[in-house]
Amino acid sequence: MIFRPNAFLGIFILLVLVDLVTGSMHFQELRQLTKPLLLISLILFFGIKGRKLSKKVYRFTLLALCFSLLGDILLLYDHLSAFYFMLGLMAFLFAHISYALVFSTQGKKLFKTELRLVSVILLSYGTTLYIILHDNLGALKIPVIIYILGILTLAITAYSRKDKVNSLSFKLVFIGTMFFIMSDTILAINKFLFVIPLSHLLVMGTYATAQYLIVKGLLASDD
């Protein structure tokens, strides 16, 4: 009963709000519980509701969620060492790759004109962001390039699902990937360029929205 879509959405929003409050109040010890709960709840939700999907979609989506959970945990400690930030970046890169593998199984070939146009726009955005960040990245230049390529691949493969899955599934997943890019952009600017007011609320709000929409979109692909 607790995992009905409407019931879960209410629970998820509550978990997000609690994490936003604990993060804003800098309750670091409490955040070690509240932040992981977001992905744990999504893993449980998808684990139960996603069994009707193909094995590849089901398994790689769970893998993406688990890598995301690992990334969330590692980034809780990035203030202690840059090593944690690097590991967190790697975990999310693997999450993006896992999601991209899911999307590519449901998508179409990249030579389609419309998809190539979307790819050019996304790659232009990623290039512009990297140029803006470049001088402040230090030893992270190469890792950041790889990460940007990873999340752009996520978005491009998400768009490749257009007309291959139902409209609701396509829209939820693609909008979710846009929220993912938005979240990472805010995080990068706040970390490497200048402090953004209320950055925690913006990063976690867009990130939680991204993960929820992607999960709901994949579940809707079987409707």
For the chain, give percent helix, strand, coil, nearest 5. 85, 0, 15
How many residues in the chain? 223
CB 31 within 8 A of CB 1: no
Residue-level pLDDT at 111 = 58
Measured distance CA(68)–CA(92) in Å, rounded: 6
pLDDT along the chain (223 residues), means of 10: 66 95 87 94 96 94 98 92 92 97 81 82 96 93 95 95 92 97 96 91 96 96 72
Residue-level pLDDT at 133 = 95
Measured distance CA(196)–CA(209) in Å, rounded: 19
* Helices 199-220 and 167-192, axial angle in degrees (round to 10): 160
Residue-level pLDDT at 2 = 43
pTM of the model: 0.93
Residue-level pLDDT at 29 = 86
Residue-level pLDDT at 114 = 83
Residue-level pLDDT at 174 = 97
- CA distances (Å), 170 to each of 12, 146, 159, 223, in order? 22, 26, 7, 12
